[in-house]
Structure 1
Amino acid sequence: MSTTTKKASRIIKAKTIQQVNRELVMRKLNITEEVYFNMMLDAGTEYLTDVLLSGWPVGDISGTELYWKWWYNHWHQWDAQFLTESRREKKELHADLYMRLHDASDRGYFPNKEIMDTILRRRHNG
């Protein structure tokens, strides 16, 4: 099997796991897909504006594809962590646990230099 084929297989497997995890999260939290995606986008926007670019005008962030890939990757990791940890929690605590695990503002997470340069260049060129 070629390296390209192996990489494509890993990507397909990761996306399948993310999709299954997303479905499980939505079931555990009793939310729709629309609510799930709005939470992810709102949290990503808030993190960008309040943590990474605190106090700077953000402008149009829709073109920062690298940032959003980075954000989705972390979000899916936090979903997996939630699914593991929620097994030990009472159902009525799931929503609080989910929000706590998905709060990146106090975790010291920062995109790599390439992503930050893209964000800052986009902000500067507006």
Structure 2
Amino acid sequence: MIIAANSQQVRRLLNWSELQYSDYIAKKGIEYLKSIIDADDWALEQLTKSGQFWKWWRNHWYQRDQVFLVKRKPAHSVSALLVDYDYLHTVAGVYPYADIMEQAYGLLMEGINKKAVKDETKTKGNVCT
């Protein structure tokens, strides 16, 4: 209940819809993954399939929302609040638990194996006998 109330209060302060709020969380999550892993778009797509990562990311996000609500200055304009909010949600210096990254790595390897099998099947289908 507190998480929902806090996210609703953040959205109200920033004049964001629920969709804008969710999109921002997702955008920052992907930005975070890009910052810790040197991966191409395909690999990044595989990593974003990790439910455990997103659960951790949202939990981490909601904790930062709580800090934002406590530390915000009531007289700030929306644009000033956005700057503060973005600063508090920077992706630098954030590291997930090892098991979260292991699961994400497992999903990446599973995706690589499926892609390799698919590519091999295509190649065999194109060979003339």
Normalised to the residue count of structure 1, the TM-score between the two structures is 0.78
Alignment match, 1:103: 90
| SS of structure 1 residue aligned to 2:47 | coil
- After superposing on structure 2, the runs of 4+ consecutive aligned residues of structure 1 that deviate more than 4 Å are none
Matched residue count: 108
Q: Structure 1 stretch 82-91 or stretch 95-104: which is displaced more? A: 82-91
Is 1:116 paired with 2:96?
Answer: no
Q: How does 1:1-126 map to 2 (within 5 A)?
A: 16-48=1-33, 50-56=34-40, 57-87=43-73, 90-91=76-77, 92-104=79-91, 106=92, 108-126=93-111
1: CA distance between counterparts of 2:52 and 2:82?
28
Residues 120 and 31 of structure 1, relative CA distance in 2, 3 Å threshold = same
Identity of aligned residues (%): 29
Equivalents in 2 of 1:78, 1:55: separation in Å? 27
Partner AA of 2:38 in structure 1: S
The runs of 5 or more residues in structure 1 that have no matched partner are: 1-15
Structure showing greater Rg: 2
CA offset digits 1:28-78 (Å, max 9, x no partner)? 101111100000011111211x12212353233343011001100010011
Stretches of structure 2 lacking an aligned partner (at least 5 in a row)? 112-129
| CA–CA separation in structure 2 for the residues paired with 1:65 and 1:119 | 9
